């Protein structure tokens, strides 16, 4: 039976008997190795990739960005292997054209050339949104989890909303902008608030409600077209997946694998709630946005908003709650050990933002911190 022929609850029951597939899209910056300014060399770097790896690269909105995409994976060791292959090949290609590949989520120093990539679509976006389309480049990590039923995907996105600020805090990796510390752990998240079609997804009743909402946003001009649904979680427009877009690009491949494991477990846990008839909480938009702002500001180095109790709590307490919530799914997928090890690493070394700040202080400057981050980009 096709999942599309049953209710969301019925689709969720079928889904619960499977281990969902997972894939990751990672965006990287190309930086000058001396000045650490962004350099518009993405086309040249893509051309320098080996042909087999070039198929896993994508042209991005900005000429200083290089996106690498994993294949669809069934387990985390497979995903890790592909991410390391992608990063290594992309770093070699960047070096061949005189740049460094750096897994950092916001332009740390500056971007002299802010032209968008030369495609009709990107030029249309730039005309429609004006100056915000020429903000310095920002890089994310997008996790896709296979959910082959559209109605179930909508309900899953509803259920993810209370937990995505915690995922955002775990992945904060962009404290610097314009050569200075912004005071935020994820400047990428703060800068993206200027775009009208980004941020937490609205609570939606059904796939028809999703389509109606998107049509209304296109009609108002907030979205140029239906493909610009860029919410933190959405049914993918290209694949039978739920796509979670809240994360900064991660400093290392192992950090990205940790995020993928948690997101996959969250999707499976929410689907189990749908199968059991437990509705997702309807959270006030102002509180949800506040929770995301707090996550972007503090990362794991302060408090986060517990959207269940509507109180501020120590960040690591909410991380522990997240792991407890998705524990059954982690065990079912065989991912418990990866998550335990990954979170222990974060407790010891901090988020990407914390690591950058420590390196900045230790190296007495941003250049040393970025050099270290470039080296970490291709590490496990």
When pLDDT is averaged across residues 338-347 and rounded to a whole number, the result is 98
pLDDT band at residue 1 using 50, 70 and 90 as cut-offs:
very low
pLDDT, tens digit, for every residue of 136-150?
Answer: 999 999 999 999 999
Instruction: Provide the token pair at 307.
Output: 């959207």
CATH 3.40.50.970 fits 3-377, yes or no: no
pLDDT band at residue 227 using 50, 70 and 90 as cut-offs:
confident
Q: What is the DSSP letter of 247?
A: E
Secondary structure (3-state) at 205: coil
For the entire predicted model, the pTM comes to 0.95
Mean pLDDT for the chain overall: 94
| Burial environment of residue 351 by CB neighbours within 10 A (0 to 12, 13 to 18, 19 or more) | buried
pLDDT, tens digit, for every residue of 293-309?
Answer: 999 999 999 999 999 99
pLDDT band at residue 6 using 50, 70 and 90 as cut-offs:
low
pLDDT band at residue 59 using 50, 70 and 90 as cut-offs:
confident
pLDDT, tens digit, for every residue of 99-137?
Answer: 999 999 999 999 999 999 999 999 999 999 999 999 999
CB-based contacts of 183, cutoff 8 Å, min separation 6? 175, 297
Instruction: Provide the token pair at 71.
Output: 């294949």
Dump the DSSP string for 303-315. Answer: EEEETTTTEEEEH
Q: Where are the domains of the chain?
A: 3-377
Beta strands in the chain (DSSP E): 22-31, 57-58, 65-69, 100-102, 140-146, 176-177, 180-181, 198-199, 230-231, 233-235, 241-248, 303-306, 311-314
Query: CA 4, 7, 9, 10 torsion: positive or negative?
Result: negative
When pLDDT is averaged across residues 275-281 and rounded to a whole number, the result is 93
Residue with tokens 């070699």: 92
CB-based contacts of 365, cutoff 8 Å, min separation 6? none
pLDDT band at residue 2 using 50, 70 and 90 as cut-offs:
very low
Is the separation of the CB atoms in 257 and 264 below 8 Å?
A: no
Please provide residue 334's backbone torsions phi and psi, each rounded to the nearest 5 degrees.
75, 25
Q: Is the pLDDT of residue 367 over 50?
A: yes
């Amino acid at each position: 039976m096709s999942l599309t022929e049953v209710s969301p609850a019925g689709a969720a029951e079928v889904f619960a008997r499977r281990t969902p597939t997972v894939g990751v899209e990672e965006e990287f910056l190309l930086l000058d190795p001396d000045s650490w300014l962004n350099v518009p060399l993405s086309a040249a770097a893509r051309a320098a990739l080996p042909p087999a790896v070039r198929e896993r690269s994508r042209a991005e909105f900005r000429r200083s960005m290089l996106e690498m995409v994993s294949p669809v994976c069934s387990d985390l060791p497979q995903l890790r292997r592909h991410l390391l292959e992608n990063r290594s090949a992309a770093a070699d290609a960047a070096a061949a054209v005189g740049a460094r590949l750096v897994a950092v989520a916001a332009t740390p120093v500056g971007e002299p050339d802010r032209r968008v990539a030369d495609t009709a679509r990107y030029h249309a976006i730039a005309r429609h949104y004006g100056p915000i389309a020429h903000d310095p480049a920002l890089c994310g990590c997008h996790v896709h989890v296979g959910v082959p039923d559209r109605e179930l995907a909508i309900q899953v996105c509803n259920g993810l909303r209370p937990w995505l600020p915690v995922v955002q805090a775990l992945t904060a990796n962009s404290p610097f902008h314009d050569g200075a510390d912004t005071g935020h752990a994820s400047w990428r998240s703060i800068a993206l608030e200027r775009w009208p079609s980004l941020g937490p997804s609205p609570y939606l009743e059904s796939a028809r409600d999703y389509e109606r909402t998107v049509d209304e946003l296109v009609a108002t001009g907030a979205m140029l077209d239906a493909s610009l649904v860029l919410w933190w979680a959405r049914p993918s427009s290209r694949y039978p997946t739920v796509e979670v877009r809240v994360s900064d690009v991660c400093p290392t491949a192992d950090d990205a694998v940790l995020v993928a494991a948690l997101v996959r477990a969250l999707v499976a846990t929410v689907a189990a709630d749908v199968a059991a008839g437990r509705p997702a909480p309807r959270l006030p938009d102002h509180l949800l946005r506040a929770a995301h702002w707090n996550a972007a500001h503090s990362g794991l180095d302060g408090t986060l908003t517990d959207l269940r109790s509507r109180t501020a709590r120590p960040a690591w307490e909410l991380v522990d709650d997240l792991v407890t919530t998705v524990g059954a799914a982690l065990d079912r997928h065989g991912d418990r050990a990866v998550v335990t090890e990954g979170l222990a690493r974060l407790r010891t070394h901090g988020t990407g933002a914390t690591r950058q700040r420590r390196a900045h202080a230790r190296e007495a400057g941003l250049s040393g911190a970025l050099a270290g981050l470039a080296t970490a980009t291709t590490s496990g």
